[in-house]
């Protein structure tokens, strides 16, 4: 059985740890074991590029530790793929970005995609990453949901009122995306777990959840025994040391 380490950009609360574990395990093939990793430090939320920069070192260190402890692949559980290049330079196991996986999958099912971002800041961060990947020509639009799903001070799931409000905002953002010309939708956060299939049924276009896309990409890469190209990402030997 192959082990896939899932690395978010934050230290997880107990509730969020369980929520993410259930999310990934329900879609994992039985030949793969999911291991959710929680960072040893860094910001509680990563709602800016400054905070993502703070988190990146902890993420790389956690990825290196996961490899040392027997992980066969790493998933970056964040839709800006923080630390992906640094991990690919450091690790000998495959490193899978949630955003990159989502875009590649969307281009197998359609021609253009829209991102449904949590807010304007996340929209900007994701768009800049798409431009870095040189895949922005396929981006139809970036729409704003206007609600954050995860709050570390709120140790519970959304209640029915909160969920219905979120679902309404998600539907409105999705409708704007389709009207902009998108033929596939990418959810702009790995924290969006509920509402995925409801949105797909409402819009009648493929809706891609980044975490699931990354998981299935990792399974394929491991099944094919593919490795990181050292021509693209030369190996470095220096490891992160976090105090």
CATH code where residue 71 lies: 3.40.50.1860
Q: Which domain holds residue 184?
A: 99-210
Are the C-beta atoms of 114 and 142 separated by less than 8 Å? yes
Q: How confident is the model at residue 34 (pLDDT cuts 50, 70, 90)?
A: very high
133 in any annotated domain: yes
> Residue 208: which of 128, 159, 160, 138 has the closest Cα?
138
Tell me what pLDDT residue 151 has: 66
Domain count, the chain: 2
Q: Are residues 170 and 68 in the same domain?
A: no
Domain identity same for 7 and 66: yes
Residue written as token pair 């291991």: 35
Do 179 and 136 sit in the same domain of this protein? Answer: yes
Residue 184 in any domain: the answer is yes
How distant is the alpha carbon of residue 7 from its chain centre?
9
Task: Say whether both 203 and 155 belong to one domain.
Answer: yes
Q: 73, 20, 17: which is closest to 209 by C-alpha?
A: 20
- The predicted-structure confidence for 53-77, as pLDDT tens digits, reads as follows 999 999 999 999 999 999 999 999 9
Q: State the pTM of this model.
A: 0.91
**Residue 229: inside a domain:** no
Per DSSP (E only), the strands in the chain are 2-7, 32-36, 73-76, 95-97, 113-117, 139-144, 184-187, 207-208
Q: Given a cut of 80, is residue 238 above it in pLDDT? A: no
pLDDT for the residue numbered 164? 82
């Amino acid at each position: 059985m192959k082990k896939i380490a899932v690395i978010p950009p934050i230290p997880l609360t107990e509730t969020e740890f369980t929520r993410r574990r259930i999310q990934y395990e329900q879609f994992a093939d039985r030949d793969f074991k999911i291991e959710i990793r929680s960072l040893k430090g860094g910001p509680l939320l990563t709602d800016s590029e400054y905070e993502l920069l703070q988190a990146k070192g902890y993420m790389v260190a956690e990825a290196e530790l996961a490899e040392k402890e027997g992980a066969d692949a790493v998933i970056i559980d964040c839709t800006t793929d923080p630390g992906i290049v640094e991990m690919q330079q450091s690790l000998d196991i495959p490193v899978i970005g949630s955003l990159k996986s989502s875009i590649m999958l969307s281009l197998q099912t359609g021609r253009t995609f829209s991102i449904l971002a949590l807010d304007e800041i996340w929209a900007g961060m994701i768009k800049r990453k798409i431009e870095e990947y040189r895949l922005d020509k396929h981006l139809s639009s970036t729409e704003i949901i206007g609600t954050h799903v995860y709050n570390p001070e709120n140790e519970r799931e959304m209640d029915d009122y909160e969920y219905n409000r979120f679902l309404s905002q998600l539907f409105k953002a999705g409708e704007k995306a389709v009207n902009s010309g998108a033929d596939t939708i990418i959810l702009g956060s790995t924290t969006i777990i509920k509402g995925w299939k409801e949105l797909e049924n409402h819009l009648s276009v493929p809706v891609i959840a980044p975490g699931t896309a990354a998981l299935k990409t990792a399974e394929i890469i491991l099944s094919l025994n593919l490795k990181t190209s050292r021509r693209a990402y030369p190996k470095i030997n220096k490891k992160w040391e976090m105090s």
